[in-house]
Structure 1
Amino acid sequence: MQRRDFLAAGLSLACAVPSISRAQGYPDRPIRILQGFAAGGNADTIARVVGNEMTKSLGQPLVVEAQTGAGGTIASAAVARAKPDGYTLLLATGGHAVAGALYSKLSYQTVSDFEMISTITFFPFLIVVRADSPYASLQDLLKAARAPGANISYGTAGIGSTHHLAGELLVKTAGVPMLHVPYRGDAASITAILSGEVPFIISPPTAVMGNLKAGKLRALATTGPRRWSQMPQLPTVQEQGVAGYEVTSWAGLMAPAGTPRPIVEQLNAAVQKSLESAQVRARLEDIGGEARGSTPEEMRQLVQNELRKWTTVVNEAHIPKQ
């Protein structure tokens, strides 16, 4: 019995040696961060802001690359297939869990094919109308949608976007029929509302802030669990009578499954240190977010919870699988 225990312990140590040796001296070359959306957008900006600061801790540049298309799934697939050595990372957003709920034939598993590193930022969406809209509050809008013969529609950045599912969740939670009108990105949905094509849109703060400040658009509600710090006068959806409604998107770093734990911990520590920077926190706030890191385990639980939530929304709203 003692001999078997000794052999088992030796085997475990032998299996651990390759991971330990791979982590030693890390990193000794630039690290890539892949993100799946347009250059200059939210995900790209978050990756660059935090990546630049992480360079100071890691001693190597973090190079951000956009691999756009299919709701961010192209970038996710590339990272899932990458060598698990800590040199290819994913800047994942809330859309990562949405895609897991919506796409029926992904080439990767949303949770198990990744090592979670840390969350970076959380941000709400805004429900926005044109400045001359007759709806002074979300309650007014929902009341109009409940009227017999009403045909209220809303615009988003596209089918399967987090914006879209935030709208479907509003329909479900408020018990109000509304029609989704998808556009090709936030800019197109903003053009649509300014021209009067739709009475309201759901959008991340960064996309509409310029028009809000210019007085062309007006926000009715924030989708988060609490009021947004940059617009403290703006009530949440819950505050306006839709109990249990909350949509907060997020961004965080992931690595391919099998990345050695010492590397994951080193990257996690670099993220936490970057979020201590006043400049980083201020920049994340500028684009509508709240800087908030996590442990790898906390991020894994977040993604699992988000996947379950959006799978329920997709199924109950009868949204066709992509």
Structure 2
Amino acid sequence: MLPRRMVLATLLAAPALGHAPQAAAQPAWAPGRPIRFFQGFAPGGTTDILARLLAPLLAEALGQPVVVENRVGAGGTVAADALAKARPDGHTMMLLNNGFAAAAALFERLPYDPLADIAPATVVATMPLVLLVAANAPYARLAELLAAARARPDALNVATVGVGSTQHFVAEALWAQAGVRLTHIPYRGTPAALIALRNGEVQVVVETVGAVLGHISSGEVRALALSTAARFSGLPETATVAESGIGNFDLATWYAIGFPAGTPEAVLARIQSETRRALADPVLAARLGEIGLSPVGSSVAEARALVPREITRAREIATRVNIPRQ
């Protein structure tokens, strides 16, 4: 998990008496007009919900409206392209997620450079993924599923919401690390994958926690293991993959605010600070927990480190398991 206690310090001290004059401290950046807040996915998804929960709190703190714009298409690349081409003056930002790293791994050519054209400001939140089996499945633990997969290579099927999705990347990374082979079957959305699980067409589904919490709570499906190093408070009895014998496995869905490259550091620092403050709001924190999100509010430096690391990891996984490039 990302560290959550690192906060950017802003030096605003006046020159001390008796010392040589120093440059006057710069005031914190403030927007001069409404901020456009892009997100690249359809309304109602986790990215959209998170952006719309965060926007009013940021608007209140910044004194300008923060307007969420859904720029849907090509796995978030339409929105990322618009962000990359926006003026770097602090008035256009985007809620990035794992799809940003996946696109860099999957597409031969992008209309923007995911490393050079985007300036991350903060990691907002993370969400674990969960391995699901049917309620009547013979597997009570992940180790039992993996043993069955070793005994019958390629005989078990795993469902995700699509080739190249975060769910697909996590599934393939797990099978590779565990030394097993399952047949990947992509479905159009979570409901279709869960129907296939109930009907016995697939033996396991990999999905984000937020998309299936209700199904787990109702007993419709069984949560077998979580993809993150730490357990999720909403599923306290569900072990992690690492606890299940696959050491050092830690993959999560993440959400980060990014700006066009060249955006002043003062902008990034202000947005990081206000985002962290918003995430401390107990009402927002409770709502995020309800939809499977864990608040982070990382430093700018941590966000800068995360994005290239995730792109590198996505490319390595795609190459190792032969996920075709587009």
Q: TM-score over 0.5 for the alignment?
A: yes
Map of 2:202 onto structure 1: 198
Map of 2:81 onto structure 1: 77
1:218-233 superposed matches below 5 A: 218-233=222-237
Is the contact made by 1:173 and 1:243 (CA closer than 8 Å) also made in structure 2? Answer: no
TM-score, structure 1 normalization = 0.89
1:127 and 2:134 are equivalent in the alignment: no
Is the contact made by 1:54 and 1:273 (CA closer than 8 Å) also made in structure 2? Answer: no
Q: Offset of 1:24 from its aligned partner?
A: 8.7
Map of 2:151 onto structure 1: 147
Map of 1:250 onto structure 2: 254
Distance 1:223 1:24, change over 3 A: closer
Pick the aligned partner of 2:99 from 81, 95, 99.
95
Structure 1's consecutive aligned runs of 4 or more residues displaced over 6 angstroms after TM superposition are none
1:288 and 2:299 are equivalent in the alignment: no
1:49 and 2:49 are equivalent in the alignment: no
Map of 1:264 onto structure 2: 268
Pick the aligned partner of 2:320 from 288, 312, 316.
316
Distance 1:149 1:95, change over 3 A: closer
Q: Offset of 1:194 from its aligned partner?
A: 2.8
Map of 1:58 onto structure 2: 62
Q: Offset of 1:195 from its aligned partner?
A: 2.9
Whose helix proportion is higher, 1 or 2? Answer: 1
Q: Offset of 1:26 from its aligned partner?
A: 3.5
Identify which range, 150-159 or 23-32, moves more after superposition.
Answer: 23-32
Map of 1:237 onto structure 2: 241
1:106 and 2:140 are equivalent in the alignment: no
Q: Which secondary structure does the structure 2 equivalent of 1:65 belong to?
A: strand
Q: Offset of 1:152 from its aligned partner?
A: 0.8
Q: Offset of 1:93 from its aligned partner?
A: 0.7
Q: Which secondary structure does the structure 1 equivalent of 2:243 belong to?
A: helix
Q: 1:11-59 CA distances to partner (integer Å, 9 max, x unpaired)?
A: xxxxxxxxx9xx9974232211111112111000111111111111101
Cα RMSD, aligned residues only? 1.7
Q: 1:91-136 CA distances to partner (integer Å, 9 max, x unpaired)?
A: 0012211211121111111122111111110111000011111211
How many Å separate the matches in 1 of 2:272 and 2:130?
Answer: 30
Q: Offset of 1:187 from its aligned partner?
A: 3.0
How many Å separate the matches in 2 of 1:95 and 1:37?
Answer: 10
Pick the aligned partner of 1:217 from 213, 218, 221.
221
One-letter identity of the residue aligned with 2:148: A
Identify which range, 171-180 or 64-73, moves more after superposition.
Answer: 64-73
1:86 and 2:90 are equivalent in the alignment: yes
Map of 2:185 onto structure 1: 181
Q: Offset of 1:149 from its aligned partner?
A: 5.7
One-letter identity of the residue aligned with 1:78: A
Map of 2:16 onto structure 1: none
How many Å separate the matches in 2 of 1:80 and 1:194?
Answer: 43
Q: Which secondary structure does the structure 2 equivalent of 1:225 belong to?
A: coil
Is the contact made by 1:224 and 1:236 (CA closer than 8 Å) also made in structure 2? Answer: yes
Distance 1:312 1:149, change over 3 A: closer
Q: Aligned residue pairs: how many? A: 301
How many Å separate the matches in 2 of 1:292 and 1:25?
Answer: 22
Q: 1:174-219 CA distances to partner (integer Å, 9 max, x unpaired)?
A: 0001111111222332232233321111111121111112211110
Map of 2:40 onto structure 1: 36
One-letter identity of the residue aligned with 1:234: T
Is the contact made by 2:210 and 2:293 (CA closer than 8 Å) also made in structure 1? Answer: no
Q: Which secondary structure does the structure 2 equivalent of 1:40 belong to?
A: coil
One-letter identity of the residue aligned with 1:181: I
Q: 1:248-278 CA distances to partner (integer Å, 9 max, x unpaired)?
A: 1110100111112222222222112111211
Q: Offset of 1:314 from its aligned partner?
A: 0.7
Identify which range, 144-153 or 242-251, moves more after superposition.
Answer: 144-153
One-letter identity of the residue aligned with 1:33: F
TM-score, structure 2 normalization = 0.88
